[in-house]
Amino acid sequence: MFFNFFNHNKTNDRSKDTATIMSIEGRMFPVDLLYLDDPTPNYVDTVIQCVMDIHTQEPRGDILVFMTGRDEIDRVVEELYNQSKRLPPRSLELEPLPLYAGLSMDDQMRVFETTSRNTRKVIVSTNIAEASVTLEGIVYVVDCGFVKIRAFNPKNGMESLVVTPISKASAIQRAGRAGRVRPGKAFRLYTEDAYNALIPTTVPEIQRSNLATLVLQLKAIGIDNVLRFEFVSAPPSAMMVRALELLYSLKAMDDSSRLTDPFGMHLAEFPVDPMLGTALLASAEYHCSEEMVSIAAMVSVQNVFVTPSRVDKETLMKARRQFWVEEGDHLSLLNVYNGFVSHGQSNKWCQQRFLNFKALARATRIRQHLKKYLRRYDIRMQTALDGLTTFDQDEQRKRALDRIRKCLVTGYFAHAALAEPDGSGQFRSIRDGVLLNIHPDSVLFNRNPKCVLYHELVETNKCYMRDLTTIDETWLPEIAPHYYKYKQTTKK
């Protein structure tokens, strides 16, 4: 693909090529590839059985298991832990360890620790272990054959987490993890025919992502006709059109599809997505720039809350509830950030409350970075709360929080949803009519708000809204009259 893009030779004479392919093979020991004779109806159970068979029948060596996500990983680790307790006395001990992004730092570091000679380590991981980390001592790989990827639907603006078969390139990469220290074995839990039917490489991210930020940046460097831009891997035209529509609705583009000046130009410089950038630029109008820059920093990091292994759910929820406010997740995240800063950015404080210290430390750096942009645009740093807290219960506090929530609406008016009138707890997006659900991790889960805005949509078994804030539905035509008409927001 890259060769064809950079090679300008249009003849059959290879000596005139303007590009060449060079490959460097890594140091690899032989890896035996083993396939299933027949497809498995439940790869999770098959993984568990395969690991136990390796442990009881194969020589020493650690095992790396590839699964699709946290729920599967936690289930496999728990079952392996339970089965390891039933092993015969004096047998090799089995230590199952999870590896995914939402783990606490201590739990993540355990996979790199050296075990005793009488212990076999089993690392159950997402595809993060394909290339992002180096794991010593792996001799056996168990590959479930699937991966969870993000995919953007331009028809409804929904980003989905989709479980899909891996590519051949990923299968080869996974198997190669077994041959780094000595000859190994890769147990592919699918048939050889299934492997041969896999696509060669993973679909490029540009062909399955929201392109609003990319389009904004292309226009900022003078490429106005983005639909005809020569991409290495051209994205679908529907995704480009959706991005253009969003930027126009945010008033980042004019009727000629050029960036507005100064708003569109400023938005293109922000290192955040256009909707969040719009809310940041609007914070001067609502006198809440201090709060908005903190919220922007917090939604720009992942896995603020960690789930330590073998900590009961009620203990976790009790720790999280101390930050919750009834208006939703954005203001609750603001409480987390303010608490972190007021306690001296303490790692110990984070550990006691099951918070991700690294994520919060990164949020403080992002906040400082974003403040520099606001100052460059002469946006005065003001606070809506002005000595209040989000927990205060008076009219002044309500007015302050309303300003922050209205500021969020300026950027996320396209991400609004109304509760279904049947009391089911489900929502429907106002413009597209997509049926939505509040994510179980949200502060608003089981709270039955009437109208919400959300930061993003994620589709797994249902379509979930993540990072929500309650809003007054009359704010939508007030703040974005070009996008909403009052009758549209009240017809249900």
- Give the model's pLDDT for residue 24: 64
Q: Show the domain range for 384.
A: 270-399
Q: Are residues 138 and 283 in the same domain?
A: no
Which of 399, 431, 466 is where one domain is finished?
Answer: 399
| pLDDT over threshold 70, residue 486 | no
Q: Are residues 286 and 264 in the same domain?
A: no
Q: Does residue 1 fall inside a structural domain?
A: no
Q: Does residue 26 fall inside a structural domain?
A: no
* AA letter at 356: N
Confirm if 256 and 283 have CB atoms less than 8 A apart: no
Q: Does residue 386 fall inside a structural domain?
A: yes
Q: Does residue 24 fall inside a structural domain?
A: no
**282 burial type by CB count under 10 A (0-12 exposed, 13-18 middle, 19+ buried):** buried
Q: Are residues 196 and 212 in the same domain?
A: no
Q: Are residues 246 and 390 in the same domain?
A: no
Q: Does residue 9 fall inside a structural domain?
A: no
The model's confidence at residue 487, banded by pLDDT at 50, 70 and 90, is very low
CA distance 231 to 104: 39
**296 burial type by CB count under 10 A (0-12 exposed, 13-18 middle, 19+ buried):** buried
Q: Are residues 132 and 154 in the same domain?
A: yes
Structural domain count, the chain: 4
Q: Are residues 165 and 111 in the same domain?
A: yes
| pLDDT over threshold 90, residue 445 | yes
Q: Are residues 71 and 188 in the same domain?
A: yes
- pLDDT over 90 percentage in the chain: 69
Please state the pTM of the whole predicted model.
Answer: 0.79
Confirm if 171 and 143 have CB atoms less than 8 A apart: yes
Q: Does residue 16 fall inside a structural domain?
A: no
> Which strands sit side by side in the sheet containing 93-99, from one edge to the other?
31-35, 184-188, 138-143, 62-66, 119-125, 93-99
Q: Are residues 36 and 165 in the same domain?
A: yes
Q: Are residues 461 and 334 in the same domain?
A: no
pLDDT average, residue stretch 371-385: 94
The model's confidence at residue 90, banded by pLDDT at 50, 70 and 90, is confident
Which of 217, 235, 268 is where one domain is finished?
Answer: 268
Higher-confidence residue of 223 and 158: namely 223
The model's confidence at residue 99, banded by pLDDT at 50, 70 and 90, is very high
Mean pLDDT over all residues of the chain? 91
Contacts of residue 370, Cβ cutoff 8 Å, sequence gap at least 6: 270, 271, 272, 280, 293, 296, 297
CA distance 30 to 176: 9
Q: Are residues 447 and 375 in the same domain?
A: no
| pLDDT over threshold 70, residue 193 | yes
Q: At what angle do helices 357-376 and 274-282 cross, to 10 degrees?
A: 60
Which of 154, 181, 202 is where one domain is finished?
Answer: 202
